[in-house]
Amino acid sequence: MDNLSIILGFAGGLGMFIYGMQIMAQGLENAAGNKMKSLLEALTKNKLMGVLLGAAITAVIQSSSATTVMVVGFVNAGIMNLQQAMGVIMGANVGTTITGWLVSSVEWAEFLSPAKIAPVAVICGVILMISGKRRSSKEIANIIIGFGLLFIGITTMSSAVEPLQSSPVFREVFVKLGSNPFLGVFAGFAITAIIQSSSASVGILQSLAAAGLVPFSAALYIIMGQNIGTCVTAILSSIGAKKNAKTAAIMHLLFNVLGTVILGSITIAYFWILQPEAGNGQITQTQISVIHTVFNIATTVMLFPLSNWIIKLAKKIGRIDEAAVEVSDVQLDDRMLETPGIALQSTVNEVVRLGYIVKGAMAVSKRVLFTQKSEDIEYLKNEEKTADKLTAGITEYLIKINTKQIGEKEHQEVAHMLQIISDMERVSDYTENISEFAENMREKNIKFSEIGGTQLKEMLEVCADSYTYALEAYENQDRDKALKVIEEETRADDLEVSLRNQHIKRLAKNQCETQAGIVFLDALVCLERISDHARNIAEEVLQQIEE
């Protein structure tokens, strides 16, 4: 077989391997659905929980690079601090070993031989995809098809390089990599940096090992280099991010470099001093999986107690501190779009944050018409600008999520959120209107009559409660709170009609100032519409709960 045929066969197999891995990962991620979202809640736990979370997410998406890029996004968005990020980064290195075990299963589980199972997996997956009507069936089909393509790809790569067994030049290359640790580490680093996937890089190594081409020592050094190479993706991802996000990428690099230096030193001492001949034997796919797993677990266990020191060193190298996030900054990041399920949950958190900003404006609105303080008026105007900025940012991000491969349920959730943030933004607009009424009253020295002020306070209380219940209903997906909103909105409607009629009678009897009366009626309109938007939010929540 000529060199061109070997290169084309190997490249085709690599492409099929990576494509199969991505299809399977996407199917697993979509099938995980809400479970992936619930994992996000663990970010508030301790660092050990972060390690477990990082391992779990990476096992699903099968890419430590993607997990770390997502971590950079979380830190950049202010959702995760550097302590939490450190735990997830450590766990990601462990989770990425899953792909290697899938590939090596052909050795320790004969029934999983690619020649037997891969074609069957692909045809079964295709049949399920064509015949399945439910979303879950199609996701399972993707997992099965990706599994089959992954095995076909690794078999194609192994078959393509078999002729190289008799090539003295190719064997000499691997002997050099095994005898020179720095060359071996660099080779692993370069390959992983180029294809930006340590899982795929390990798969390449295993395909070469299946052809009997890789010495034991060379494999160890290459695996260590692969762990450093996987940091390149996160470093590239941090370009243009905030300073603390760059620190997260530096932490990832430091963690993997320190692990390689410490364990690499032990490995070199073993092969050069204790057992010089041990490194010359051929390694198997299963042994590569074992070494890859042991190396990453050992690195995590060894450096876990030093994680705070690694964070401090990363900050010192980057000459930065964790940056404060502006309240008006949208705390979402495009890096999280690689895992739409988690991106969606992050957006839910941001919608809730917007909701509480508007709730704060509602609280000030309850007093501003009576105090007419300039700081309250200015606060409401600024908060409306903040709400506008957040609404625009969240909307843009939701549209991006909607273009990803997400299920029907997620599409519906996006639609609900778009409606909810629109209602929240409208409530914010009405609080600004109220601040303008207060400003007008201050400039013209307008005061409500005693009875008018009492009645307006009652309306303010009802509408503020209505919005608060709506926000809590959305945040906790609480059906009872949503129904309470509908009750309060009905009460607000009735109260608005009653107060308007009473006020018109007072005007007819000259019992209040005309200008104060105009503000009173305008304020009633704003407050009634706030309760309407609160009801809209509640109805969206009820639809979500029922779906």
Percentage above 90 pLDDT, the chain: 26
Say whether both 389 and 300 belong to one domain: no
- Give the residue from 283, 318, 353 where a domain finishes: 318
Angle between the 243-269 and 82-95 helix axes, to the nearest 10 degrees?
40
User: Most confidently modeled of 19-28, 119-128, 415-424?
Assistant: 415-424
Q: 453: domain range?
A: 338-546
Q: Is 109 helix (H, G, I), strand (E, B) or coil?
A: coil
Q: Is 359 helix (H, G, I), strand (E, B) or coil?
A: helix
pLDDT of residue 322: 46
pLDDT of residue 398 exceeding 90: yes
Q: How many domains does the chain have?
A: 2
Residue at 195 is within a domain: yes
Say whether both 286 and 390 belong to one domain: no
Say whether both 302 and 357 belong to one domain: no
Nearest partner of 68 among 54, 53, 84, 50, judged by Cα: 54
Average pLDDT over residues 316-325: 60
Say whether both 298 and 446 belong to one domain: no
* 472/324 Cα distance (integer angstroms): 27
Say whether both 241 and 113 belong to one domain: yes
Residue at 132 is within a domain: yes
Residue at 464 is within a domain: yes
Residue at 304 is within a domain: yes
Say whether both 49 and 86 belong to one domain: yes
- Give the residue from 288, 318, 348 where a domain finishes: 318
Confidence of residue 31 (pLDDT cuts 50, 70, 90): low
Say whether both 385 and 420 belong to one domain: yes
Q: Which residue in the block uniquely carries the two structure tokens 């890789």?
A: 214
Residue at 172 is within a domain: yes
Q: Which residue in the block uniquely carries the two structure tokens 């909607």?
A: 402
* 235/329 Cα distance (integer angstroms): 23
pLDDT of residue 382: 92
Q: Which residue in the block uniquely carries the two structure tokens 């099965």?
A: 144
* 113/135 Cα distance (integer angstroms): 29
Distance of CA 416 to the CA centre of its chain: 20
Question: CB neighbours of 100 closer than 8 A, spacing ≥ 6?
Answer: 199, 202, 203, 206, 288, 289, 292, 293
Say whether both 108 and 220 belong to one domain: yes
DSSP structure string for 361-378: HHHHHHHHHHH--HHHHH
Say whether both 258 and 181 belong to one domain: yes
Residue at 328 is within a domain: no
Whether the Cβ atoms of residue 431 and residue 380 lie closer than 8 Å to each other: yes
pLDDT of residue 44 exceeding 50: no
Reading the block at residue 356, the tokens are 């509480």
* 483/80 Cα distance (integer angstroms): 34
- Give the residue from 264, 290, 318 where a domain finishes: 318
CA distances from 45 to 41, 53, 312, 544 (A): 8, 10, 20, 28
CATH number of the domain within which 385 lies: 1.20.58.220
Confidence of residue 233 (pLDDT cuts 50, 70, 90): confident
Whether the Cβ atoms of residue 499 and residue 523 lie closer than 8 Å to each other: no
Residue at 326 is within a domain: no
Residue at 277 is within a domain: yes
pLDDT of residue 267: 86
Average pLDDT over residues 297-309: 91
Nearest partner of 402 among 477, 347, 471, 476, judged by Cα: 347
Confidence of residue 57 (pLDDT cuts 50, 70, 90): confident
Ranges 150-154, 168-172, 250-254, 291-295: which has the least confidence: 168-172
Q: What is the pTM of this model?
A: 0.69
Say whether both 126 and 226 belong to one domain: yes
The pLDDT tens digits for 415-438 are: 999 999 999 999 999 999 999 999
Reading the block at residue 480, the tokens are 């009872």
The pLDDT tens digits for 514-524 are: 788 888 889 99
Say whether both 314 and 344 belong to one domain: no
The pLDDT tens digits for 3-19 are: 777 778 878 887 887 78
Say whether both 103 and 64 belong to one domain: yes
Percentage above 70 pLDDT, the chain: 84
pLDDT of residue 324: 47
